[in-house]
Structure 1
Amino acid sequence: MREHFNQQLVQLNAELENLGQLCDNALAGAIKALQEGDNELARKIYKSDFVVDQKEREVENLCLNIILHQQPIASDLRLVSSALKLITDMERIGDQASDIAEIVMGLDYKEQSNFKLIEEMAKASRAMVQDAVRSFITQDMELARNVIDRDDVVDNYLVQARELMVGLINEQGHSPKTIVDLIMIAKYLERIADHATNVANWAIFQLVGEHPDKHPAPQVAMQA
């Protein structure tokens, strides 16, 4: 019985790794489409969102099957329950990569110099996703904490991107719609980093049984 359970846990890790790779591929493709103005690639990424959704459902079914038939306890239960939470964040990462691709499909903008900041932001967000998934699979708490710390870097990129894009509105040749589209791409990248942070939080939870975001509520002094 335990041997079969261990095999299922190995399968779960493999499926989580596959899901992470699908999300990474979608994000990489969306950013490449932006950089190269490749509408066909953007359309391919946009239409492939169902692949991530399907993998999420497969992993969810596996987790529920493990809980139903194996009735895990303690650390094993934390692993499976954390995986259920993780796949929701991964599905959202896939959605937001698809959202970026959808924007790129209608984007008519060739000034590559103004993509540099977004490209750096995309690189940072993508690395967070990769490391967050790896920290969960390898149970690497130090790497998970490193991912959480890097969320501020992406937040700062969003602030810089907004300032840059707002400044472009006053320049000739920049349509307000295009600027809004670029700001939305930056916002989606920031959300992707947030979801990567959530994945890292669940990586820590499965090891210590406590979510890093959870802090005791402040005590309110009672009046006499």
Structure 2
Amino acid sequence: MRSKFDEQLKSLNEEMIRMSSMIENAIKEAIEALLKQDVTKARQIMENDDYIDQEQKRIENICFQLLIQQQPVAKDLRNITAAMKMVTDMERIGDHAADISELTVVLSDVPYQVKIDNIKDMAKESIDMLKQAVTAYVDSDMKMAREVIEHDDVVDELFCKVKSDLIDVMQNNTAYEEHAADLLMVNKYLERIGDHATNIAEWVIFSLDDKGIKKS
């Protein structure tokens, strides 16, 4: 019986990695579409969000089967609970990739008047946080999970810098005010992705030690 349970847990880990990979790719392509003002790619990312939603349901079904068909001990129960909470944050990250793509369509008609390198850097840092958070879950690596939480400061610093740059543009170039406001929303979505990655890392710690971080 335990061997079957372990096999299902392995399947859960594989699907978690799969969903993480799908989301990482969505963010990368969303930012690439944003930088190149590629409307076709942006629309494709928006359509592909349905596949991420389907993967979330697949993982939730595995978790439910583990809870219903097996008799998980406390540690296993924390692990399954954490996975169910994590995929909610992961699905929201996928939504934000679609949100960014939706704004890309809006932003496509006017050349950018500011450097958006920091936005690109924010995306990279957020993707790295997500990847490490899911790896920490699969590898039961509490140290890596804590590093993800600490790394959120890097994303927050970039968020503040981009926000400051865009507000400066809005104050000094009224013709570009609406465009800059849309980029502020992109900035906010990336900051939220970092927050979701932090949430995932906190659930990893919970799965390994229920006294590590108390989640609501």
Q: Please tell me the TM-score bracket, short chain as reference.
A: over 0.9
- Counterpart of 2:80 in structure 1 is 80
CA shift at 1:103, angstroms? Answer: 0.4
- Counterpart of 2:102 in structure 1 is 102
- Counterpart of 1:210 in structure 2 is 211
Contact 1:144 1:200 in 2 (8 A): yes
Q: Match of 1:114, SS? A: coil
Structure 2: distance between partners of 1:111 and 1:213: 43
- Counterpart of 1:188 in structure 2 is 189
1:28 aligns with 2:46: no
1:19 aligns with 2:19: yes
Contact 1:23 1:90 in 2 (8 A): yes
Computed over aligned residues only, the root mean square deviation of the Cα atoms, in angstroms, reads 1.6
Contact 1:204 1:212 in 2 (8 A): yes
- Counterpart of 1:159 in structure 2 is 160
CA shift at 1:147, angstroms? Answer: 0.4
Contact 1:46 1:102 in 2 (8 A): yes
Q: Name which one, 1 or 2, has greater alpha-carbon Rg.
A: 1
Letter in 1 for 2:118: L
C-alpha offsets along residues 140-199 of structure 1, whole Å, 9 cap, x if unaligned?
A: 111111100011111111111111001112344852111111000000000000000011
CA shift at 1:113, angstroms? Answer: 5.1
1:37 aligns with 2:40: no
Structure with greater helix share of residues: 2
Q: How many residues align?
A: 215
Q: Which runs of 5+ in 2 are unaligned?
A: none
Q: Residue 38 and residue 112 in structure 1: after superposition, are their counterparts in 2 closer, same or farther (change >3 A)? A: farther
Give runs of aligned pairs for residues 130-149 of structure 1, distance below 5 A.
130-149=131-150
Contact 2:206 2:215 in 1 (8 A): no
Structure 2: distance between partners of 1:70 and 1:172: 62
Give runs of aligned pairs for residues 41-80 of structure 1, distance below 5 A.
41-80=41-80
Structure 2: distance between partners of 1:133 and 1:112: 36
Q: Which runs of 5+ in 1 are unaligned?
A: 216-224
Q: Match of 1:17, SS? A: helix
- Counterpart of 1:221 in structure 2 is none
Structure 1: distance between partners of 2:128 and 2:113: 22
CA shift at 1:209, angstroms? Answer: 1.4
Q: Match of 1:106, SS? A: helix
Structure 2: distance between partners of 1:112 and 1:153: 25
How much identity, in percent, do the aligned residues show? 40
Q: Residue 112 and residue 17 in structure 1: after superposition, are their counterparts in 2 closer, same or farther (change >3 A)? A: farther
- Counterpart of 1:218 in structure 2 is none
Q: Residue 213 and residue 174 in structure 1: after superposition, are their counterparts in 2 closer, same or farther (change >3 A)? A: farther
Letter in 2 for 1:188: Y
Structure 2: distance between partners of 1:7 and 1:23: 25
Structure 2: distance between partners of 1:129 and 1:58: 20
CA shift at 1:21, angstroms? Answer: 0.6
Letter in 2 for 1:129: L
Normalised by the size of structure 1, how large is the TM-score?
Answer: 0.91
Normalised by the size of structure 2, how large is the TM-score?
Answer: 0.95
